[in-house]
Amino acid sequence: MFALRSPSVAYDPAMTAPGLLHASHDPVTSPDPLDPLTRLLPSSPASAPAGPLTTAARLLAESLLGEMGDRWLHTRGVAERAAGLAAPLGVDADLLTAAAWLHDIGYAERTVVTGFHPLDGADHLTRGGWPVRVAGLVAYHSGARFVAAARGLSEALAVYPDERTVLADALTYADQTVGPDGARVDPASRYAEMLHRHGPCSWNARVDADRGPYLRAIARRVEYLLSFTEAGALP
């Protein structure tokens, strides 16, 4: 099992994968700059110091996606975006940023089983002993459940918790505001580019009628919350 230091959130045991039921949740410690893992890390694009989940997630993401060109640039951009959203939205920065680093690992050749990247990514994390909440965030990011339903993969995805939280919204919003090359974009432009890139016969195009409004609603929720934080206080 992947040796992972404890997350900084109190995970619900009911949301823990079978293989992780006895994972220890020791008190959180800051990354040790003398830790060999920490010293091997690439420079972080995130503004906040990396927590233990983020540290491990960044290492795994780079090992799987680091040679994949734009996919890696996109991943770095989403991680940076997520790290910047955590404090304004009042969510766990370590969990959100870790999920952002990992959200597209299902595209890596070593993880592909079904060819549906949210599910393949989540399954890879589960095999590696990651907390099921991280796997669930990866499994359901950016409206994956609509494509899963169209592809007959809903049951496979349903082994993961589909949390409907501000944190899950923030992950999707980060993914939907960073383009394929890692540049910041608005959600509408990102969605239009995605549909164009995948083509009119793609799974994404086939579920557009349901997934499009779902993603737009997430963007509205997140931007509503951010408008209050920009004004100085959450509602």
Q: Interface residues with Fe ion (CB under 5 A)?
A: 104, 175
Judged on CB neighbours under 10 Å (0-12, 13-18, 19+), 157 is buried
Coil/strand/helix, residue 177: coil
205 alpha-carbon distance from chain centroid: 22
Q: Please list, residue by residue across 44-71, b when 16 or more beta carbons sit within 10 angstroms of its beta carbon and e when fewer do.
A: bbbeeebbbbbbbbbbbbbebbeeeeeb
Which is nearer to Fe ion, 94 or 104 (by Cβ)? 104
Which is nearer to Fe ion, 7 or 179 (by Cβ)? 179
Coil/strand/helix, residue 41: coil
Which is nearer to Fe ion, 92 or 175 (by Cβ)? 175
Which is nearer to Fe ion, 20 or 144 (by Cβ)? 144
Least Å from the CB of residue 108 to Fe ion: 13
Least Å from the CB of residue 155 to Fe ion: 24
Least Å from the CB of residue 99 to Fe ion: 11
Paired strand residues for 184 = 178
Coil/strand/helix, residue 112: coil
Least Å from the CB of residue 74 to Fe ion: 6
Which is nearer to Fe ion, 65 or 91 (by Cβ)? 65
Least Å from the CB of residue 12 to Fe ion: 26
